[in-house]
Amino acid sequence: MIKLIMTDMDGTLLDENGKLPDEFDEVMEMMKERKILFAPASGRQYYALLSQFEKYKDEFIFFAENGTYVAHREIELFSSVMPNATVKNLLRIAKTIPQSYPVVCGKKGAYVTAAYEPFMAELEKYYTKFQIVKDFSQIQDEVIKVSFCDFSEQGSEFNTYPHFSEYSEQLQIAVSSNLWVDVMNYGINKGIAIQQVQKMLGISPKECAAFGDYLNDLEMMSSVYYSFAMDNAHPQIKEVANFAAKSNRDHGVMLGIKELLEKGI
């Protein structure tokens, strides 16, 4: 029997307008009756997830910042803090990338130096708690991730990502969307975070399901048996997932969960 269901947010649970499915509360009630835990697993900030799911803040497990920070009932379960030297090096590289804006993600909030209007509009979609600082050296926080918002014509996979490809054996580099690249400590991702929680709860991969659409969901797919690639997913996600779900536009996560519940899996 499934005991834990994880889902990515953008391009997966949320529709093309960034909205939750209309039947979300109904499906959550069905899961609650069967004592199945639900967990948003996103590149989004913890505080952004908490704000979006205020009603469920004491029920959901939140896998935030691509697995670098996990919390339940506002208590930290797992985190991965980056060394200061690593953060400084990433910010040095950031200065060489055209049309790419860094976001330093800490446990207390996020930090940016640029106030470029399109960037700020994009930032506010995923970060509800952030500060604009004059210099990143002013930050007094534990950094768990450095993200890059890419506004180039090539997109994040072809503009920002290549600047970090040579560090792939020292850092975890995830292309989260056509606009975002996330850099974390090596070996840290949604999948590793899920495995940590599985151990804490005594849950096996066969008792877990996950839904995803983009490259930052790769490791999540391999950490559960019931791994679902959305119809709109990146080709690599479809290659590694064991099952398929309809697109986020068609509320594929809700349909997939209801199918699992109907089958009593």
Q: 132 Cβ partners below 8 Å, 6+ apart?
A: 111, 112, 113, 115
Residues 181 and 199 in one domain: no
Burial of 116 (0-12, 13-18, 19+ CB in 10 A): middle
Mark which of 185, 205, 223 sits at the end of a domain: 185
Question: What would the 3-class secondary structure string for the chain be?
Answer: CCCEEEECHHHHHCCCCCCCCCCHHHHHHHHHHCCCEEEEECCCCHHHHHHHCHHHCCCCEEEEHHHCEEEECCEEEEECCCCHHHHHHHHHHHCCCCCEEEEEEECCCEEECCCCHHHHHHHHHHCCCEEECCCHHHCCCCEEEEEEEECCCCCCCCCCHHHCHHHCCCEEEEECCCCEEEEEECCCCHHHHHHHHHHHHCCCHHHEEEEECCHHHHHHHCCCCEEEEECCCCHHHHHHCCEEECCHHHCHHHHHHHHHHHHCC
Q: 69 lies in which domain range?
A: 4-79+189-263
Over residues 142-155, the pLDDT tens digits come to 999 999 999 999 99
Residues 62 and 193 in one domain: yes
What is the structure's pLDDT at 168?
86
What is the structure's pLDDT at 165?
83
Mark which of 165, 185, 205 sits at the end of a domain: 185
Residues 203 and 227 in one domain: yes
Over residues 37-96, the pLDDT tens digits come to 999 999 999 999 999 999 999 999 999 999 999 999 999 999 999 999 999 999 999 999
Mark which of 185, 213, 231 sits at the end of a domain: 185
Residues 73 and 93 in one domain: no
Over residues 212-264, the pLDDT tens digits come to 999 999 999 999 999 999 999 999 999 999 999 999 999 999 999 999 999 98
CATH number of residue 31's parent domain? 3.40.50.1000
Over residues 154-189, the pLDDT tens digits come to 999 999 999 998 888 899 998 888 999 999 999 999
pLDDT at residue 15 tops 90: yes
Residues 104 and 124 in one domain: yes
Average confidence (pLDDT) over 89-112: 96
Residues 62 and 105 in one domain: no
Residues 26 and 147 in one domain: no
CATH number of residue 175's parent domain? 3.30.1240.10
Residues 11 and 91 in one domain: no
What is the structure's pLDDT at 115?
82
pLDDT band of 108, cuts 50, 70, 90: very high
Burial of 38-77, coded b for 16+ CB within 10 Å and e otherwise, reads bbbbbbbbbbbbbebbeebeeebbbbbbbbbbbbbeeeeb
Contact 210, 220 (CB under 8 A): yes
Residues 104 and 132 in one domain: yes
Residues 68 and 158 in one domain: no
What is the structure's pLDDT at 68?
95
Structural domains in the chain (count): 2
Contact 146, 82 (CB under 8 A): yes
Phi, psi dihedrals of residue 184, rounded to the nearest 5°: -130, 180
Token look-up 């290549």 returns 162
Residues 165 and 206 in one domain: no
How far is the first Cα of the chain from the last one, in angstroms, to the nearest whole number? 5
What is the structure's pLDDT at 264?
85
Residues 56 and 115 in one domain: no
